[in-house]
Amino acid sequence: MNNVTAAPYDIKIAPAARQQILVLPAKSQKMIFKIVEAIAINPRPHGAKKIEGMTGLYSSSVEHIRLIYKIEEQEILVLLVK
């Protein structure tokens, strides 16, 4: 897993999510990293949705890109990019 930023929350990107990011066009990758930077500061921004029935799992979307991530204490794990 890769550490992305030094903000209030430590961001880790799961290997599967990293692979999903790497195959996207550069514009989409930039959008993803903007989302990641934002959730490192505020993991529950306006528009983020808690995934029902799953402890600590949230979904955040911009245009056609969706991140699924898990919040644990001061760490956020990006699990999936669609």
Structural domains of the chain ordered from first start? 2-81 (3.30.2310.20)
- Angle made by CA atoms 80, 46, 36, in degrees to the nearest 5: 40
Please say whether the beta carbons of 33 and 4 come within 8 A.
yes
pLDDT digits (tens, 9 = 90+) for 11-59: 999 999 999 999 999 999 998 988 888 889 999 888 889 999 888 899 9
Taking the whole predicted model, whether its pTM rises above 0.95 is answered as no
Identify the pLDDT of residue 72: 87
Q: How high does pLDDT run on average in the chain?
A: 85
pLDDT band of residue 6 (cuts 50, 70, 90) is low
Q: Distance between CA atoms of 59 and 39, rounded to whole angstroms?
A: 11
